[in-house]
Amino acid sequence: MDRPLGSVIQGSLSKGLEVRLHADVSVEDMRVGKFLVVRGVRSHFFCMLTDVSLGTSSSRILSNPPNPEDDFLLAVLAGSSTYGTIELSPMLMLTAEREKSQVIFDLNSNNNNNGKNGKSAAAEKFASFQPQTSADIELLPVKTIPSHFSQVFDAKETDFRAVFGWEDDPTRRNFAIGKPIDMDVDVCLNLDRFVERSNGVFGKSGTGKSFLTRLLLSGIIRKQAAVNLIFDMHSEYGWEAVSEGKQFSTVKGLRQLFPGQIQIYSLDPESTKRRGVRDAQDLFLSFDQIEVEDIALVQRDLNLSEASIENAIILRNELGSGWINKLLDMTNEDIQMFCEEKRGNKSSIMALQRKLERLNDLKYIRTRCQKNYVTEVLQCLDAGKNVVIEFGSHSDMLSYMLAANVITRRIHQAYVRKAEKFLQSKNPCDRPQPLVITIEEAHRFLDPAIVRSTIFGTIAREMRKYFVTLLIVDQRPSGIDAEVMSQVGTRITALLNDDKDIDAIFTGVSGGQSLRSVLAKLDSKQQALVLGHAVPMPVVVQTRPYDEKFYQEIGDIDWQQMPDEDVFAESEAAKMDLGF
């Protein structure tokens, strides 16, 4: 028999519920972020615990508190004169379609005919309903509140399954991201809903954002919810990464978990080889592929003025796609002649020429490339292979932002063409496979000052119009444009301390104020607040460990049991099939 924790004594729809704990329930067992169920007469209300407080029936007790060693007096006061209260924020109401009508009918008739006993029997019948599949469950937004003295209970495994589903549900692509506080039951994301919109992983440095991101990417790959393009700024996702802790150890990357489904491209082949990564492809970009919009994105990193950007547009319009190569080859006399003929500004163009010389220092930049490497990446994605682009020693923001923007712009253009073809033909064979693009340090791409000119801002605002979404990984969500944050569908947030960052997380979230205290009380490791489009209600989870058990549960077992020589032989054969 479930033991009730307390009774609803007051509250409102807008401010939440106040619950007085029963005498036998310790206030110390109540933790912010806990998942509780209020059993009303007609509905179950799934709630999050947002605050804990102490109450007394008389101020005289506070002015003359009992001796801490007087156990008898403390026991007499407990529960009646002194008590604990908790604040609950209702998130969902549960109705069960198969039983709902009959339960309410029985409830009304028994209440009229049999009085209190009949009411309890009907309520018990509703409480005992067990959904067999996700199709049996109807989760509704909260538009009312339970009556006075409704009982509050700890959530059970069946409650979690009713709200968050289960990983082996045949009707949905669910992925267990972790477990709730103090419970051994999975909390699942609906991956089909997850990839419908752009999403974010947030948290201050050292809270495990990269581990969370690897978990999510592993789930998407295993369930084949989408194909992934990952810009791996610190070389953490492709092959292996250093695990945090006192002793040095490494964890597997996506290539080791899914050898047949991951292709690594490297912008710094020497660094990739030094790290022992096998079977990685080189990737180079040429000046011919860089557009003015790409230069504008790194304007601050190159210290370019607005006048230089305006003159870059003039150069592009007059000289065509090879304008950078032609500019770098110009002498002072050539620039002077160009300015006289085309009304350019000589000093601005000379400054642009001087500062674009810095791009020659990037190892992945070539004057011209014999083949189009971005087209190779797109062929991989079209074939259903996930692509990780490693930056190696290119850890500066100029290298990262330029390459990510150039590659993403071309791939987005290809997806727009494919989406338009599908909309015209209506042929399911023409439907593009959803693409999720993962970027780190996202606030640099989505800053309010430049977000309108970046391809990432465009993708975030489009939602899933062209089957392309973002997975944003960032420690400074306050640096991201507010309009973009409002479009982020699912937010998985580890500990944040800065008030501006916390405010940014709840941009566009109704009832976000009540969740602020929950976010501020998270542990610094392996805890996260999950809210948004892919989960029915906000929930705090102890994130799934990224360890050997996880490798066995999520990884490509058939590939893991093969010798390395066979694995890489298969990879070579796959590349031949793609025409590499």
The enclosing H or E element of 377 equals: helix 373-382
- A 10 A CB-CB count for 331 gives 8
Beta strands in 352-444 (DSSP E): 365-366, 386-390, 435-440
Considering the domain architecture, whether residues 135 and 53 belong to the same structural domain is answered as: yes
User: Is 356 inside a domain boundary?
Assistant: yes
Contact 434/274 with Cβ under 8 angstroms?
no
Domain boundary, last residue among 341, 361, 381: 361
User: Is 90 inside a domain boundary?
Assistant: yes
Give the residue from 273, 234, 279, 233 showing the smallest Cα distance to 256. Answer: 279
Domain extent at residue 109: 6-164
pLDDT at 300 > cutoff 90: no
pLDDT at 108 > cutoff 50: no
Q: CB-based contacts of 393: which residues, under 8 Å, 6+ apart?
A: 268, 271, 363
Considering the domain architecture, whether residues 224 and 327 belong to the same structural domain is answered as: no
Buried/exposed code over 207-225 (b: 16+ C-beta within 10 A; e: otherwise) = bbbbbbbbbbbbbbbbbeb
Phi, psi of 35 (to 5 degrees): -105, 120
User: Is 183 inside a domain boundary?
Assistant: no
**pLDDT of the residue at 530:** 93
Give the residue from 435, 418, 436 showing the smallest Cα distance to 427. Answer: 418
Taking the C-alpha atoms of residue 40 and residue 151, their distance in angstroms, rounded to an integer, is: 8
Helices and strands in the chain, H and E counts: 24, 23
Contact 339/331 with Cβ under 8 angstroms?
no
Considering the domain architecture, whether residues 277 and 295 belong to the same structural domain is answered as: no
Between 570 and 437, the more confident residue is 437
DSSP reduced 3-state for 525: coil
Considering the domain architecture, whether residues 235 and 159 belong to the same structural domain is answered as: no
How many residues comprise the chain?
580
Domain boundary, last residue among 329, 361, 393: 361
**pLDDT of the residue at 566:** 52
User: Is 181 inside a domain boundary?
Assistant: no
Beta strands in 198-239 (DSSP E): 199-202, 227-232
Split at pLDDT 50, 70, 90, the class of 472 is very high
Contact 216/530 with Cβ under 8 angstroms?
no
User: Is 179 inside a domain boundary?
Assistant: no
| Domain count across the chain | 3
Considering the domain architecture, whether residues 259 and 293 belong to the same structural domain is answered as: no
pLDDT at 557 > cutoff 60: no
User: Is 539 inside a domain boundary?
Assistant: no
- A 10 A CB-CB count for 102 gives 12
How many Cα neighbours within 13 Å face the side chain of 530? 28
Split at pLDDT 50, 70, 90, the class of 222 is very high
Considering the domain architecture, whether residues 149 and 266 belong to the same structural domain is answered as: no
Burial of 560: CB neighbours in 10 Å, binned 0-12, 13-18, 19+: middle
Taking the C-alpha atoms of residue 517 and residue 204, their distance in angstroms, rounded to an integer, is: 16
What is the token pair recorded at 489?
């569908």
User: Is 413 inside a domain boundary?
Assistant: yes
pLDDT at 157 > cutoff 90: no
**pLDDT of the residue at 213:** 93
Domain boundary, last residue among 340, 361, 382: 361
pLDDT at 114 > cutoff 50: no
The residue written with tokens 């403390």 in the block is: 74
pLDDT at 574 > cutoff 80: no
Taking the C-alpha atoms of residue 189 and residue 165, their distance in angstroms, rounded to an integer, is: 8
Considering the domain architecture, whether residues 271 and 306 belong to the same structural domain is answered as: no
Between 387 and 141, the more confident residue is 387
Contact 344/338 with Cβ under 8 angstroms?
yes
**pLDDT of the residue at 131:** 47
Considering the domain architecture, whether residues 345 and 383 belong to the same structural domain is answered as: no
Contact 197/491 with Cβ under 8 angstroms?
no
Q: What is the average pLDDT across 438-466?
A: 85
Beta strands 151-154 and 6-12 are antiparallel
The residue written with tokens 């039951």 in the block is: 185
**pLDDT of the residue at 109:** 40
- A 10 A CB-CB count for 339 gives 18
Taking the C-alpha atoms of residue 275 and residue 69, their distance in angstroms, rounded to an integer, is: 63
| HEC per residue, 306-366 | HHHHHHHHHHHHHHCCCHHHHHHHCCHHHHHHHHHHHCCCHHHHHHHHHHHHHHHHCCCEE
**pLDDT of the residue at 128:** 46
What is the token pair recorded at 165?
């589903």
**pLDDT of the residue at 99:** 43
User: Is 1 inside a domain boundary?
Assistant: no
- A 10 A CB-CB count for 518 gives 23
Considering the domain architecture, whether residues 323 and 404 belong to the same structural domain is answered as: no
Averaged pLDDT score across all residues of the chain: 83
Quick: pLDDT tens for 30-55: 988 888 999 988 888 999 899 999 88
Considering the domain architecture, whether residues 243 and 205 belong to the same structural domain is answered as: yes
- A 10 A CB-CB count for 200 gives 25
Indicate which CATH number applies to the domain containing 218. Answer: 3.40.50.300
Phi, psi of 519 (to 5 degrees): -65, -40
Burial of 43: CB neighbours in 10 Å, binned 0-12, 13-18, 19+: buried
Considering the domain architecture, whether residues 160 and 59 belong to the same structural domain is answered as: yes
Considering the domain architecture, whether residues 19 and 133 belong to the same structural domain is answered as: yes
